[in-house]
Amino acid sequence: MDKRFWHELTQEEIDGIPKGTLCSELREQFAQPDWCKYQFAIGTLGCWSLMGDNRTEISREYCGKCPVFKGNPCQT
C-alpha cells in the first residue's frame, strides 16, 4: 500500500491526527514529496513549508530552489 503524501492531506485530516502522535509515526504513515531529499521533512523540525501554512503550495516548482530538492545543482 502506497503512503499518502503529507502535502495532499486536507486540514481536517491533519486536525484529526491524535495529539501525541510521534513524528516517526507520521513518517511511517505519510510520504514527503518524491523530489525532496530532506531526510526528516515530515516532523516538528522538518521542512517549514511542508509542515506549515504553505503545505498546499508544495510542488516541484515551489520547491525547485530548495537546497534539498533532488536535482538542485547546489546540493552537497
- Is the pLDDT score of 73 beyond 90? no
Rounded mean pLDDT of 34-46? Answer: 94
* Contact in structure between 43 and 27 (CB atoms under 8 Å): yes
Which residues face 9 on adjacent strands? Answer: none
3: confidence class by pLDDT, cuts 50, 70, 90: very high
Domain ranges of the chain: 4-63
**3-class secondary structure for 6-24?**
HHHCCHHHHHCCCCCCCHH
24: confidence class by pLDDT, cuts 50, 70, 90: very high
